[in-house]
Structure 1
């Protein structure tokens, strides 16, 4: 976990940058849907939950299939 902390920080920076670019506040996000294999990493999940002030992550959709659901 410590070895990868810089990568985890970069990931959270990217999320924050996306919110800024979209001119959105964290409080305006209703659901946090995990997409992609990296979202299976428990530390990434915890950091996302912390970033969004304890909001529960949507885990009902398989992260590998989420893009296919959106495209369908």
Structure 2
């Protein structure tokens, strides 16, 4: 779940809205990745960047404890 969220935030911040149509539904891994990205399409690229950085910082804090 965390990895999917980070993937989606990264894609949204670097490429913007998910516009690709998923062609191979049997490829479950990519379907989950695309779904995660589509779920955050409402975020701007800058908002996605901020949330990505915040998520990484939270993970780093958890790891250091």
- Say whether the fold is shared (TM-score over 0.5): no
Q: Which has the higher helix share?
A: 2
TM-score (norm 1): 0.30
Relative contact order: is structure 1 or structure 2 higher (C-alpha 8 Å, sep ≥ 6)?
2
TM-score (norm 2): 0.31
